[in-house]
Amino acid sequence: MTLQQALTLARKMLAVKMDIENPSLEAEILLRHALQISRVHLHLDLDKELGTAKEQELRQMVERKIQGEPIAYITGYREFYGLDFGIDSRVLIPRPESELLVEEAIRFRETAKKTIPLFDKSFTIADIGTGSGAVAVSLAVNWPFLSEDERIASGGSGARNDESTLGEPVRISATDISASALEVARINCQKHRVSDRVTLLQGDLLEPLPTPTDIIIANLPYVRKADIATMPSGTYEPALALDGGESGLDKIFRLCRQLGGKLSRGGCLLLEIGMGQSPAVTELLHQLYPASSIQVIPDLAGISRVVKMVLQ
């Protein structure tokens, strides 16, 4: 069997399952994973023989996908914010909409730098419910160093390509109640060489944070308990990372009530939420922190996805 024939067979097998949106793409991903090759190499060698062992491996992966297992668990990785993350059933699969948390954290730095002293060595971020560490690692990799103007204002000097003059990198605490999830996060921190900037802490929500933090980011479980069984991935992803209680807001509400003493004055809270949850979350935040600025930010699909609060 050639690679082309294997690709066609896998595509046909996957197409039988009506809820698989793109059988052609997923067949290609699985074949590339079996062979550990790039898309370019695959399409350059479509006449190459696959071999019996690899054919069997491909069939097994296709059967797992047909049974409903998410492709990220089959391949063991998922791309998030342009980076590859190791993923397995100990953690939730990172979703593209969660990239909005990273974007908003960086945007907050840029818009607040003139009024809030965020740039000393103690500046911190906390990623609550970190799971695979996708948000924390993405921030650690992409967080901008001090700009030239900021460096001059702080008394620094030197060429822009000299990292010793670019100021301190961001310091991130990444918390999770699950020890097994933190094991996955640790692997991803090591993979992307940010272990020196990301401190992993086990505990419930904000409890592990020793001092007030400048930005708190949380992608907590927000699926209603009754809805988990209807999710395509509900059988495979850890219930601890999905189950938001009867309303879907149990853990989000608990975090909101824990903010006192954990979020710095002038600091920013970024909460990922589910569809239809923004009114309840913003109402609670207004009640708890009436002087604070609260904004709801939509994702690319127009769904209210992130609640942003600047604490006053």
Q: How much is the pLDDT for 282?
A: 96
> What ranges do the domains of the chain cover?
3-68, 89-310
From the centroid of its chain, how far is CA 210?
23
243 pairs with which residues across the strands?
Answer: 223
User: Quick check: 67 and 19 in contact, CB under 8 A?
Assistant: no
Q: How much is the pLDDT for 229?
A: 86
pLDDT band at 114 (very low <50, low <70, confident <90, very high): low
DSSP state at residue 249:
-
Q: What angle do CA 231, 234, 240 make, to 5 degrees?
A: 130
Q: Is pLDDT larger for residue 151 or for residue 35?
A: 35
pLDDT over 80 (residue 120): no
88-100 average pLDDT score: 95
The SS3 assignment for 22 reads coil
User: Quick check: 197 and 170 in contact, CB under 8 A?
Assistant: yes
**Longest C-alpha distance within the chain, in Å?**
67
pLDDT band at 191 (very low <50, low <70, confident <90, very high): very high
Q: What percent of the chain has pLDDT over 70?
A: 88
Q: What angle do CA 84, 207, 260 make, to 5 degrees?
A: 110
The neighbour count for residue 43, using CB atoms within 10 Å, is 13
Tell me: the pLDDT tens digits for 195-232?
999 999 999 999 999 999 999 999 999 999 999 888 87
Tell me: the pLDDT tens digits for 137-186?
999 999 865 444 544 444 443 333 344 334 556 789 999 999 999 999 99
> For residues 205 and 52, what is the distance between their CA atoms, to the nearest angstrom?
49
Strand 83-86 versus strand 171-176 pairing type: unpaired
Name residues whose C-beta falls within 8 Å of residue 231's C-beta, 6 or more positions apart in sequence. Answer: 223, 237, 242
pTM of the entire structure?
Answer: 0.87
Query: What CATH number belongs to 89-310?
Result: 3.40.50.150
> For residues 271 and 204, what is the distance between their CA atoms, to the nearest angstrom?
16
235-248 average pLDDT score: 91
Tell me: the pLDDT tens digits for 278-312?
999 999 999 999 999 999 999 999 999 999 999 98
The SS3 assignment for 251 reads helix
